[in-house]
Structure 1
Amino acid sequence: MAKAIQEVTLNRSEDIPFDKLELSQQNVRKIKAGVSIEDLAEDIVLRKLLQSLNVRPILGENGEETGRYNVLAGGRRYRALELLVKQKRMAKTEPVPCIVKRGGDTSAEDDSLAENVQRVDLHPLDQFRAFQTLRKQGLGEEEIAARFFVSIATVKQRLRLASVSPRLLHLYAAGEMALEQLIAFSITNDHVRQDQVWDTASRSHAREAYYIRRLLTETAIRASDRRAVYVGVEAYEAAGGIVMRDLFEQDQGGWLQEPALLEKLAVDKLKADAETLKSTEGWRWVEAAFDFPYGHASGLRRFYGKQADMTRDKLARYDTLKAEYDKLQADYAAAQGSSEETEKQLVDLGAELDRLKDRPFVFDSEEVARGGVFISLSAGGELKIDRGFVRPEDEPKAEAEASGDNVDGDIESATGGAVSTNSAPPAGDQDEEEGDGPDAS
């Protein structure tokens, strides 16, 4: 004989005034976790209550219902509603949708545990795509962050992950790719390149996130590269260049994806700086390159300028600042403990003293008319300017005949780079000149 199928009867939903509800001590959730009660209350203000409370009637001594109810599941929602009542943003008699359970074969603790344990969290990819949908609907990143009580950086990260290659997102959803790997792929928006790198990593069995990042960036140039610093990332992007950024780890400014464009921009800027230097200072020639080979100035005569004297006002200013700096430094050394404010004062004073000492060098106009300059790039991306070189063929004829100097003065230019601001005499001579600079009368 076939067993009869038992029909399921669900618990009924009722609207119960909030002041008739009490938080049950049989609720298994005791430890605070997740969104704060304050944030949950704001979410209820925005969206109203999205989930009913699970309650049981409170019975009197004779087993009769008292008209009050214990909240067994939904304790955080209850506390959020309670907060809104205290803030007078909701009436204490406001009807609250509740699932009411009367009787049954399970205990209150059992129901509370089931309500929490059987809940399945949203898959991360579903959240990424939901944020992406909201963005397409016109919500800004700041508004999305405010609505879901997360940081703007988190929203940017989720949106970036949702934009990874559909093929890789499918692998992630199927459990064939870890979140760390997906994050590594998010540094570029090039889906073709992402798929190519995944195929390469899969064949080599090296699928670690660091290896994926290395493959994706192997043809790119760091934003900290001296050419990138010299040109400027903003100028590179204005010229149509693409920058890959890692929103999940420190990337030191990212990676410039088009080396050829960066090289052209750097060369053009270096040439323009060379022409400007030549026209403003009057040099006969200016050689420009990222780097020059060793011995590039061999056979050239070197001459040096003289550092301009300080004006009377600047000298007085220097002496005042130097005395203030020395006193502050001595007092700080004698004091116990550290002080960020004093350290900042010392740094500011030292910077101003350096600016006063960093005076331009003045060169003889006749020497400038026959001399030249080498400009290149420093390791930090600043211009390195070496002034004061004379080729043998540019020497005055009388001096050249007297010396019998027939050295060929051709200079080979290079393609490389480093930067300073002014040429200086040999170490010994320059030290001797600078030693009396600021303190000279």
Structure 2
Amino acid sequence: MTATAKTTTRDTRRKPARKEAPANVTPSPTTDLAPINSADSAHATPILEGSKVTSAPLVSLRASPLNPRKAFEPGSIAELAESILHKGLMQNLVVRRGDQPNTYEVIAGGRRLKALTLLADAGRIPPLFDVPVRLAALTDLEALQLATAENVERRSMSPLEEADAFLGMVTLGATPEDIALKFGFGQKTVEQRLLLARDLGEEARGLLDAGEISLGNAQIIAHTKGPMRRHLIGAALRGAKPEGLRTLIREGSFLVAHARFDVPSSGLEVVEDLFGEVPPRFADPGAALALQLDWVNARADKLRARGKHHFVEVETSQSAHGSALSAGWPDYTAHSGYRDLQGTVFKVSTVTGEVRENSGVVRKADEAARERAESAARKAATASEATGSSGGAIRKSGWIDGHAARAASLRTALVGDHKRGVALTLLGMLGGSASKLRVDWSSVEVLDVPAVRERLQALDERLGGLLGVKQPGDRYARCPVQGDRFSGNWRDRDSREFAFYTALMTLELGELLDLQGILTACTLANWNIYQPEGPVAEFVTRLGHDVQARPALRLTDAHLKAYTRDRLIELAGDAGLDHEGMAKLGTSKLIREAILAHADALFEQGYVPAIARFPEALPPLLAAEAAPVIASDEDGEGDEDPGEDDTGTED
């Protein structure tokens, strides 16, 4: 879990100096300190115990290199100089003896020293101007602490100046806990400032000082180095926020959270952020990736040894995004019906080390090869050995005629069969998609069945025309009755539906069952108009034999035009005509004319071309075979193959 760093916002407005009585100072030629008769400041801190208030000539004062504040605004120095000139020096400077004789190092009061020096350089005060000072014996650490405390109190230091000051104190022996207690900061803030001082780097320091990147961004950048640091600096300059930089680190680093191998025993160095700015990551991502790939390959070998998968592959990706680790387009699909072709693909990001195990996927190349093989097998199964013609030689319109003949025979056989009508309605309500059985008119193919239309017209007369039976040739006659009678204005829909219900209740039970069975039958034996040459569904085949459906298809010129010459000769032989004689005819047109000469007689005899017949009867099913199959995992690792649940449906 990534914790958001707390950033302390400091008021950088300059506060007015604390008012004190002006000191009566006059130029003095002496270079040694003479005591001034004034009481010690009530605000003196313990660090100044034993110090004394006196005066020193301006020329003897030197700015301390320990002063953490490096940047001074020239305009504010000039304003302070004018104030000192007209009102006097309101507060003394804190000094310690300098390295050179008769010199003093200014520990607190750097801005006042600059203002006095500006006045002296302009000739507005003499170089020997007496400056009130407090002389104290201070160590370097005490001097740095005092200078920092004054600037912190005045809110005049930038975060980076505070950081450098705190690092100086640590170098001189202070601890982060000492600094936090002395200056009223949280220890986390002190630690963050120390990180800035140590690790921010010159480029980012300059950008932070110039206000081109924020303190929050600088704290994130300080955790990085090399190409990642340059990447983050560029993002910060483009306006990225701290959370955005954290995301870049997560997406561009091998995170410990992504490791599948045993991290403690690996011996790899882990970079951890004590402040929760960024998640733990490996210092050597290359070594971590090698161990990660070793783990993935061992896992893949284990799955291959089980023999449950058609294939197990390991692939790498240079993307840092998790979405790129899914085994999808263009090489794989997770939506194939070929369960025996399913396998597992491990995708490993070489950037973040993240591993994605994609189960139940199928190679698109394998799927395409299987489809080609099945298509070839279907064509071979419908081809004639006598002529060697191809099963695909019959045009689409011929196949549609065949399907329509079978469907019409089924629908006619179910008129008045109440028991089967109710059974099929229940099957449709329970989701019997294998037969494409639906009480849904949106996908029903237009098919006029005289027996259906005649019975519906009779029932419609009993209902006073409420059904709205459609006439033959109606291009929108998917539903044989007015199926959208309850659409339109929804405000009176309830009343219209209840009126229809009231009318239905005037029918006898047998008539209601008759209507139910007819409407159910009209949804039966649909076919795919885009690929009508596909095999007849097993359910439809079994149902056709169960109801003893007798398809009828009169041979017409329009239907025969769907056949090639070889297939016309086959049909003639199948119908018992002189196909050898027809084979000697020169064109398909002549063969069609020869067949059509016998069309009426063939229809009267009940001849049905092969394209419209139901396939041979299938072996009977036991009741137990209708029960759902529940898969089990013998080795108890059910989560290994989530794609092997039996949820598919036969089309």
- Where on the TM-score scale, by shorter chain, does this alignment land: which range? 0.3 to 0.5
Q: Which structure has the greater CA radius of gyration?
A: 2
TM-score using structure 2 length: 0.25
Higher strand share: 1
TM-score using structure 1 length: 0.35
Select the structure with the greater relative contact order (CA < 8 A; seq sep ≥ 6).
1
